[in-house]
Amino acid sequence: MTSLIEFPYRDKLGNAQKPVQLTHVEVREDPQGYVPDDGLFNAAEAAMFLNQPLLLTGEAGTGKTQFAYYLAWQLGWQNPLKFETKSTSSANDIFYTYDTLGRFHEAQIHGEKTKAANYVNYHALGLAILHAMKPQDVPNAFVPDDFSHPGQQRSIVLIDEIDKAPRDFPNDILNEIEHMYFRIPFLAQGKLQASKEMKPIIIFTSNNEKPLPDPFLRRCVYYDVPFPSREKLQEIVQKRIPEFSERETSVAQAIDFFSRLRESGLNKKPATAELLGWLTMLRGYKLHEEKDLKQCVDKMAKTLNVLTKTQEDAVLALEVLQRWSRS
């Protein structure tokens, strides 16, 4: 069987002593390549002006998470402090976790002399609040021995896919989010609180897997990230895969097919992330060099698995490709 890209391992030509060199096509991931729409800019400005969290919803793969990195780059700040929400997440988890078992074992060996703070791991919002405080204002009881304060600074906190969390999770963090503080009662009395001028910017993302509670929604600036237009998709491709964007005809045809595929009634529509992966695949197969992609249906058919997620969608995608090639 002959592969479009030459994969020597199919013919057992490679070995551990002589690694196979695969085709590599770079997709730029740097934040300056992100292309936000005006509505997203407006929502972000409102959130920053009002000191409220920004809640971004929309299809998976439309760039909600990437926007946090883009905003940090625009502001000249460090990369966002990210918390990946899970179905088991609790309110404390966005601030810290505590190694209770490790602390217990250490106490059995060395007694109570071990510092309790050494068993605390600070997470996204907890770190952001610590960074928002002057180093000398952080009580020693809260500071692990190996913690290095970077100096007082503002941060962006990305709480990704909050809709995955248990139902009570958003409501459980309302006061802490609004007043930007948290407590660790088993370490010391009092609370760690960000200064008003150094409050972190918080960005929540949601794929709308389940509704979020109204009290939480009322405290956020909301924006639903729309799927990009064809013109915006071309701009994104130009920024992310410049090698491909030099072939304007190929890009236009590829985006035309991609758009028709999304409109065909798929169970799971491919998003921008899948488009970039698919174009990268076409680039690796050198299909971007073709003057007319409609003459390359057989080769394109071998790349459709990048765009589909179910057998039913795979069959439909092949039908759409055949119709598109004849249009």
- pLDDT tens by residue, 247-267: 678 889 999 999 999 999 999
- pLDDT tens by residue, 292-317: 999 999 999 999 999 999 999 999 99
Residues sharing a CB contact under 8 Å with residue 270, sequence separation 6 or more, in sequence order: 61, 258, 261, 262, 278, 307, 308
Q: In angstroms, rounded to a whole number, what is the distance separating the alpha carbons of residues 28 and 21?
A: 21
pLDDT at 116: 84
pLDDT at 104: 74
Residue 154 has which token pair?
């503002």
Residue 226 pLDDT exceeds 90: yes
pLDDT at 3: 47
Q: How far is CA 248 from the centre of its chain?
A: 29
Residue 112 pLDDT exceeds 70: no
Tell me the pTM.
0.85
pLDDT at 128: 98
pLDDT at 170: 93
Contact 228, 275 (CB under 8 A): no
Instruction: Tell me the mean pLDDT in the region 72-98.
Output: 95
Instruction: Tell me the mean pLDDT in the region 203-207.
Output: 96
Instruction: Tell me the mean pLDDT in the region 122-128.
Output: 97
Could you tell me what percent of the chain has a pLDDT over 90? 63
- pLDDT tens by residue, 25-84: 555 567 888 888 899 999 999 999 999 999 999 988 889 999 999 999 999 999 999 999
Q: Which residue has the higher pLDDT, 312 or 118?
A: 312
Q: Where are the beta strands (DSSP E) in the chain?
A: 54-57, 81-84, 96-98, 120-122, 156-160, 181-182, 192-193, 201-206, 221-224
165: left (phi over 0), alpha (psi -120 to 50) or beta: beta
pLDDT at 8: 44
Residue 280 pLDDT exceeds 70: yes
Lowest mean pLDDT among 4-13, 28-37, 232-241: 4-13
Could you tell me what percent of the chain has a pLDDT over 70? 87
What is the overall mean pLDDT for the chain? 88
pLDDT at 11: 56
What contacts 24+ positions apart, CB below 8 Å, involve 318-325?
320/257, 320/260, 320/261, 320/264, 321/257, 321/261, 321/297, 322/297, 324/256, 324/257, 324/260, 324/294, 325/294, 325/295, 325/297
pLDDT at 120: 93
Lowest mean pLDDT among 6-15, 163-172, 231-240: 6-15
Start-to-end C-alpha separation, the chain: 31
Place of tokens 């057992």: 12
Lowest mean pLDDT among 6-15, 67-76, 152-161: 6-15
pLDDT at 289: 80
Instruction: Tell me the mean pLDDT in the region 99-103.
Output: 77
Q: How confident is the model at residue 148 (pLDDT cuts 50, 70, 90)?
A: very high
Q: Which residue has the higher pLDDT, 57 or 115?
A: 57
**Burial of 193 from C-beta contacts in 10 A (0-12 / 13-18 / 19+):** middle
Q: Which residue has the higher pLDDT, 53 or 8?
A: 53
pLDDT at 25: 55
Instruction: Tell me the mean pLDDT in the region 277-288.
Output: 85
Place of tokens 């060996």: 109
pLDDT at 151: 94
